[in-house]
């Protein structure tokens, strides 16, 4: 048979014990194999059954190396029996006799009435130097041999003197021992004194180092731009810096109640309910960590990022609070968002200017032809005028879209039609992309209404389309825009997708594309705020924006906006049909610094039965009213010299509250925002350039609502 294992005992190469995974056996050889204890061997031979364990008469023994014995735990010799026969053990016992004959040494051990022998061959000098004596407590290591005869004690065979470990020796007091004891005591006292002095020096050194570190930490603590405090489980301040007084006008000090500072903050926080909710959640869970924003108006209006986290382990651990001032950062972000919008407008400007010049060419050309060919039949002249008017209307749409895109405003969410936004977007986009780029539009005819702010969502889609355009090669490529109804686990959504077959976005960049100031574009070609702003707008709509992209294949952005329960008109308003407006009567004062605008407006109104007077600015308008002239309605331009339309409106409301006022301007006017800024709201707004019916309708409605009795 063949077997392998580690040699735990060897007797002159003729007899050795092999053990492998708790199984041991004896092996006998002819003495030609010099095998030492600890060797790893392969053995082949004839198996023979012995009384306790099998043995092998080995014919082939091959050594494969050497290894230290595995560490064993010491147990009393009374813990071993026949089951441990031939196995390596580590046994403890008390020496009761020692017998040495030449190189053979035998130690008799006792433990709880159980006797065991430990046998060692050789190492005479080392054994004598060990100075064993009766009463010594020792631990021996080696293979354990049980005996079938009860009269013969078991034996543990030791390989070397290293297999004996002395635990302690018996105490026998005598003169020599007394001198040794005194010397030992004196030595111990000296060592203790040296250790004490050394310890004091170390403590002094560490104390100085701790003071230095504490000083540096305190300096860094006070120099931090954030207000920082450490609060114990009872709400008392353990540490704090002086930044609280600068940021909140509250001189927080060590030992103060942090709850009093909390109440001080809530009294001045404009978002107090949200702050209180976050604060209470942290108080209810000592292990919680959170970060939230707080708007606090103590000295000046400020925005703070509040972070709180527990310190150390356990339920009664203190908590650290930090209040970082974000006011300047937020202001900078808002400014950069507006700058990014203007940057996108700049990209569109070239294409829009080209098309606007074409429209002006159509307007001026048709009117020039009508002017030079005075003998043309009336029908042909009318065709030229209608063509010029159509070009002017298309130019007006371009300008309104541009103004609506670039102005600053808050979200006004109401039921709307996503298809209308897409139609307007495509009309604007065609002016800003190369004609070699194909724009595909897929519109869902049964699209649900959506809860949205049309202006802001058009801005989001324009950002996505501009990014898609920038990802395409200089010529060629495709941008696809699609609307559809989608049901997600969160509910029903209207989805609009913007896809391109451009360069794509790497996986690493996709993880950061919605971060503010992150951009993959070259320096100077983007602020890195477009997608961050788009993400924020979509989130304000309680919507979702997703990106899928593969480098070299293209990119797809999908925007999900919640469905409107009220529904929305899904009829596309390609053009507003102007219904005829009946003639009226009344006295109207038109104030505008542009003579051509005054002439057009007064001509339109006079043609429909109104008496019209015109002035060049707001000051002249007030002088005309003060002259006693009868006026039923005032039409004001916003930007005029000497006195603007806003200032004039305030004065008219104060002096002549019964006279209705219409504001007419080339700028888009939000009447609610206008009223908040000026303190007075006009009765109507008519955007320039206007068609006659829109002006006539506003005039008639104002006169009717005001109750003014026209002449």
| pLDDT tens, residue by residue, 232-268 | 888 898 888 888 887 888 888 888 888 888 888 888 8
Residue 433: pLDDT above 70? Answer: yes
* Residue 546: per-residue pLDDT: 93
**pLDDT > 90: percent of the chain:** 21
For residue 383, the SS3 value is: helix
Query: How would you class 708 by CB atoms within 10 Å of its CB: exposed for 0-12, middle for 13-18, buried for 19 or more?
Result: middle
Q: Smallest Cα–Cα separation from 601: which of 682, 702, 692?
A: 692
Model confidence, pTM? 0.38
Question: How confident is the model over 334-363, as a mean pLDDT?
Answer: 64
- The number of helices, as runs of H, and strands, as runs of E, in the chain is 16, 29
| pLDDT tens, residue by residue, 295-312 | 887 766 788 889 998 887
Q: At what angle do helices 645-655 and 618-626 cross, to 10 degrees?
A: 20
Residue 575: pLDDT above 50? Answer: no
Tokens of 350: 């070239």
Query: How would you class 692 by CB atoms within 10 Å of its CB: exposed for 0-12, middle for 13-18, buried for 19 or more?
Result: middle
Return the bridge partners of 633, or none.
588
Q: Which of 396-400, 472-476, 493-497 has the lowest mean pLDDT?
A: 396-400
* Residue 408: per-residue pLDDT: 46
Question: How confident is the model over 416-432, as a mean pLDDT?
Answer: 82
Average pLDDT, the chain: 81
Report whether 138 contacts 95 (CB < 8 A).
Answer: yes
| pLDDT tens, residue by residue, 485-500 | 999 998 999 999 999 9
| pLDDT tens, residue by residue, 95-140 | 999 998 888 899 999 999 899 999 988 777 888 888 888 989 999 9
Residue 8: pLDDT above 50? Answer: yes
- Helix or strand holding residue 462 (H, E): helix 454-471
Taken in order 27, 30, 35, 39, the sign of the CA dihedral is negative
Report whether 665 contacts 637 (CB < 8 A).
Answer: yes
Residue 460: pLDDT above 70? Answer: yes
* Residue 640: per-residue pLDDT: 87
CA distance between the termini of the chain: 132
Q: Where are the beta strands (DSSP E) in 159-300?
A: 164-168, 227-231, 237-240, 290-297
Q: At what angle do helices 530-540 and 327-372 cross, to 10 degrees?
A: 100
* Residue 500: per-residue pLDDT: 93
Residue 386: pLDDT above 60? Answer: yes
Report whether 241 contacts 227 (CB < 8 A).
Answer: yes
Residue 571: pLDDT above 50? Answer: no
Task: Please state, in angstroms and rounded to a whole number, the distance separating the CA atoms of residues 239 and 119.
Answer: 69
Tokens of 496: 């609009």
More confident: 136 or 315: 136
Residue 284: pLDDT above 50? Answer: yes
* Residue 140: per-residue pLDDT: 93
* Residue 662: per-residue pLDDT: 93
Question: How confident is the model over 594-621, as a mean pLDDT?
Answer: 89
For residue 374, the SS3 value is: coil
- Expressed in percent and rounded to 5, the helix, strand and coil fractions of the chain are 40, 30, 35
Report whether 67 contacts 6 (CB < 8 A).
Answer: yes
Could you tell me whether strands 587-591 and 611-615 are parallel, antiparallel, or unpaired per DSSP bridges?
parallel
Give the pLDDT band of residue 195 (cuts 50, 70, 90).
Answer: very high
Please give the full DSSP string across 413-433, using - where no structure is assigned.
-EEE-HHHHHHHHHHHHTTTS
Report whether 59 contacts 1 (CB < 8 A).
Answer: no
330 phi and psi angles, rounded to 5 deg = -65, -40
Given the structure tokens 């203007």, which residue do they identify?
342
Give the pLDDT band of residue 678 (cuts 50, 70, 90).
Answer: confident
Report whether 3 contacts 129 (CB < 8 A).
Answer: no
**pLDDT > 70: percent of the chain:** 82
Task: Please state, in angstroms and rounded to a whole number, the distance separating the CA atoms of residues 261 and 257.
Answer: 7
């Amino acid at each position: 048979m063949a077997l392998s294992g580690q040699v735990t005992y060897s007797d002159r190469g003729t007899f050795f014990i092999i053990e492998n995974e708790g199984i041991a056996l004896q092996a006998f050889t002819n003495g030609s194999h010099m095998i030492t204890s600890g060797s790893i061997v392969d053995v082949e031979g004839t198996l023979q059954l012995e009384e306790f364990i099998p043995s092998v008469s080995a014919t082939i023994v091959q050594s494969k190396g050497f290894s230290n014995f595995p560490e064993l735990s010491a147990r009393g010799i009374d813990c071993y029996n026949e089951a441990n026969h031939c196995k390596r053990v580590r046994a403890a016992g008390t020496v009761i006799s020692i017998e040495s004959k030449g190189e053979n040494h035998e130690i008799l051990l006792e433990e709880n009435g159980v006797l065991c022998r430990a046998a060692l061959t050789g190492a005479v000098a080392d054994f004598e130097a060990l100075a064993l004596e009766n009463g010594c407590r020792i631990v021996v290591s080696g293979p354990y041999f049980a005996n079938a005869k009860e009269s013969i004690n078991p034996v543990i065979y030791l390989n070397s003197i290293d297999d004996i470990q002395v635990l302690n020796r018996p105490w026998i007091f005598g003169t020599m021992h007394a001198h040794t004891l005194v010397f030992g005591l004196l030595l111990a006292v000296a060592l203790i004194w040296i250790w004490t002095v050394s310890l004091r020096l170390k403590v002094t050194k560490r104390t100085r180092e701790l003071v230095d570190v504490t000083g540096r930490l305190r300096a860094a603590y006070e120099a931090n731009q954030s207000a920082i405090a450490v609060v114990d489980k009872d709400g008392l301040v353990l540490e704090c810096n002086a930044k609280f007084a600068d940021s909140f006008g509250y001189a927080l000090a060590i030992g103060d109640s942090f709850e009093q500072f909390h109440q001080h903050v809530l009294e001045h926080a404009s978002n107090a309910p949200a702050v209180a909710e976050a604060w209470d959640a942290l108080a209810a869970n000592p292990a919680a960590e959170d970060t939230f924003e707080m708007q606090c108006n103590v000295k000046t209006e400020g925005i703070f990022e509040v972070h709180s986290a527990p310190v150390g382990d356990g339920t009664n651990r203190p908590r650290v609070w930090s209040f970082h001032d974000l006011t300047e950062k937020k202001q900078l972000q808002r400014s950069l968002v507006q700058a990014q919008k203007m940057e996108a407008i700049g990209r569109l400007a070239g294409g829009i200017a080209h098309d606007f010049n074409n429209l002006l060419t159509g307007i001026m050309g048709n009117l020039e032809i009508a002017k030079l060919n005075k003998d043309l039949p009336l029908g042909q002249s009318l065709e030229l005028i209608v063509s010029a008017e159509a070009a002017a209307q298309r130019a007006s749409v371009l300008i309104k879209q541009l103004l609506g895109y670039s102005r600053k405003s808050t979200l006004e969410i109401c039921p709307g039609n996503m298809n209308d936004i897409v139609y307007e977007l495509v009309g604007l986009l065609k002016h800003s992309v190369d004609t070699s780029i194909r724009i595909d539009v897929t519109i869902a005819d049964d699209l649900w209404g959506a809860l949205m702010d049309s202006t802001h969502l058009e801005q989001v889609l324009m950002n996505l389309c501009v990014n898609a355009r920038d990802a395409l090669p200089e010529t060629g490529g495709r941008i696809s825009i699609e609307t559809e109804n989608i049901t997600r686990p969160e509910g029903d959504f209207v989805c609009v997708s913007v896809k391109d077959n451009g360069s794509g976005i790497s996986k690493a960049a996709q993880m950061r594309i919605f971060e503010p100031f992150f951009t993959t574009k070259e320096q100077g070609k983007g602020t890195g705020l477009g997608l961050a702003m788009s993400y924020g707008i979509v989130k304000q709509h309680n919507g979702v924006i997703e990106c899928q992209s593969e480098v070299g294949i293209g990119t797809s952005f999908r925007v999900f906006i919640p469905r409107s329960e009220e529904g929305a008109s899904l009829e596309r308003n390609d053009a507003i049909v102007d219904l005829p407006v009946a003639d009226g009567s009344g006295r109207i004062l038109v104030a505008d610094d542009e003579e051509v605008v005054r002439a057009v407006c007064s001509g339109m109104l006079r043609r429909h039965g109104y008496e019209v007077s015109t002035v060049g600015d707001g000051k002249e308008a007030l002088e005309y009213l003060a002259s006693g002239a009868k006026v039923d309605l005032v039409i004001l331009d916003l930007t005029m010299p000497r006195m603007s339309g806003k200032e004039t409106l305030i004065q008219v409301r104060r002096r002549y509250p019964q006279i209705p006022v219409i504001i007419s301007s080339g700028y888009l006017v939000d009447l609610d925002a206008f009223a908040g800024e000026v303190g007075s709201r006009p009765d109507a707004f008519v955007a320039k350039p206007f068609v006659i019916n829109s002006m006539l309708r506003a005039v008639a409605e104002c006169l009717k609502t005001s109750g003014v009795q026209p002449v």
